[in-house]
Amino acid sequence: MDGTADKRCSHCGKTASLKCGHCKASWYCDVSCQKAHWSEHKPACKEADLDRTIHRAGQLLQDVFFLFREQLFDESIESIEDTGDTLFLRDRPRKPGTLIPFPHHLVRDEKEKKMVLSTLVCHEPIGYFHDLFIQMLKGTRTRIEEVTVKVKKPAKRTRAIPVRGELRGDWRTHGVIRVITLDASRSWIIDPAGAQYSMFAACLDEQTYQDRYVEKVFCAMKPGTDKLLYQGFAELKGNCAIVARIEWDGVKAVEDAVQKWERNSGLRLPELLRQPEGTFERHREEVLEAIQSALVRFAAQADYSRDILETEQYERAHPYFSDWEAEQVRVKLFNSRTLYRASG
Ligand SMILES: [Zn+2]
Ligand SMILES: [Zn+2]
């Protein structure tokens, strides 16, 4: 079965067997019909092409984030309790800055694994992989905004039960990337860490995402704001600083692996995203494998014992001060980089 029996040539209407290699949506009987139809087909073809590129970029960003989070996992989870609509993760005490092997034995399938990996995370992938994502979008004639939303009550979500203190409120505040064409005719939402709310799709067109998941849009920030946030944290002292410094070192390992892959393959990321399906899949697996090995090496060699000791001393000498300092970084960025915020 070649499935082409019912395909009609977009130019002459006869039975067609040749598919447009770019958009995979238009059919032709032969190359001459395809050529004859090109000027008419071009706008639709470019649209479909762009849509595919943005989806691939979003998926790649999410894939990279999950690899990164798994190797740099730092929650010590004792048990996971499934109450039907919630996966409660019970944490053990741990020292900030300590990498902890991901508890594979506690998750039942790939979906649960993604839910756990994205728990308590949302702005991190947007900040840490900002440069990588911008690189992927090169040539697409789009711009981005970093949007904070409140998500609708999901069928199932994760919640972390902290060692000390109360369970956090049911805020459902979440960070995503909005990609908009320069002429503002189309927009998408990229959601690297939505799995914690059962939102697994890495990329959806904005309207679909809004209808399905969004209760309220809180605000949109200029591109690169989350990157500045985690850079700001890394310059501080104390618990959130050591975590940010380690994660930036992990990001460097990812970026180096991508550059090395680009040199070896002769392809750049934006070109990778425009390859035909088979070539794309093959190279995508290659680049993810390269990133994975780099992260495994990074985690195996990571020794932050000295920084952890200094962090403990700092936290003892200045209790709660690092939380306050981190909040100052956040407030300053929020005040200077907000594009728009919800009224009421
Ligand atoms: Zn034809
Ligand atoms: Zn086409």
Helix H or strand E segment including 174: strand 173-181
Above 80 in pLDDT, residue 93?
yes
Neighbours of 303 (CB within 10 A): 8
For the entire predicted model, the pTM comes to 0.91
Residue 12 Cα to ligand 2 middle (Å)? 16
292-299 mean pLDDT: 98
Residue 286 Cα to ligand 2 middle (Å)? 27
What pLDDT is recorded for position 4? 46
What pLDDT is recorded for position 46? 86
Give the model's confidence band at 169: pLDDT under 50 very low, under 70 low, under 90 confident, else very high: confident
Q: CB of 98 within 8 A of CB of 74?
A: yes
As residues whose CB is below 5 A from the ion ligand 2, the structure lists 20, 22-23, 26, 45
Q: Which amino acid is at 67?
A: L
Q: How far apart, in whole angstroms, are the C-alpha atoms of residue 93 and residue 76?
A: 7
What pLDDT is recorded for position 7? 87
| pLDDT tens, residue by residue, 227-280 | 999 999 999 999 999 999 999 999 999 999 999 999 999 999 999 999 988 999
Helix H or strand E segment including 146: strand 142-151
92-110 mean pLDDT: 93
How open is the CA angle 199-202-205, to the nearest 5 degrees? 95
What pLDDT is recorded for position 5? 53
Residue 27 Cα to ligand 2 middle (Å)? 8
Domain residue extents for the chain: 51-226, 232-334
Q: How far apart, in whole angstroms, are the C-alpha atoms of residue 176 and residue 195?
A: 12
As beta bridge partners, residue 18 has 28
Residue 269 Cα to ligand 2 middle (Å)? 22
Above 70 in pLDDT, residue 122?
yes
Percent of the chain surpassing pLDDT 90: 83
Backbone angles phi, psi at 263, to 5 degrees: -65, -45
13-26 mean pLDDT: 88
Q: What 8-state DSSP symbol labels residue 195? A: G
Pairing of strands 203-205, 173-181: unpaired
Above 80 in pLDDT, residue 97?
yes
What pLDDT is recorded for position 344? 55
Q: CB of 240 within 8 A of CB of 233?
A: yes
| pLDDT tens, residue by residue, 186-232 | 999 999 999 999 999 999 999 999 999 999 999 999 999 999 999 99
Q: How far is CA 278 from the centre of its chain?
A: 23
Residue 51 Cα to ligand 2 middle (Å)? 12
**What is the number of the ligand closest to the CA of 31?**
1
Q: Which residues contact 16 (CB under 8 A, 6 or more apart)?
A: 4, 7, 8, 9, 10, 27, 28, 29, 33
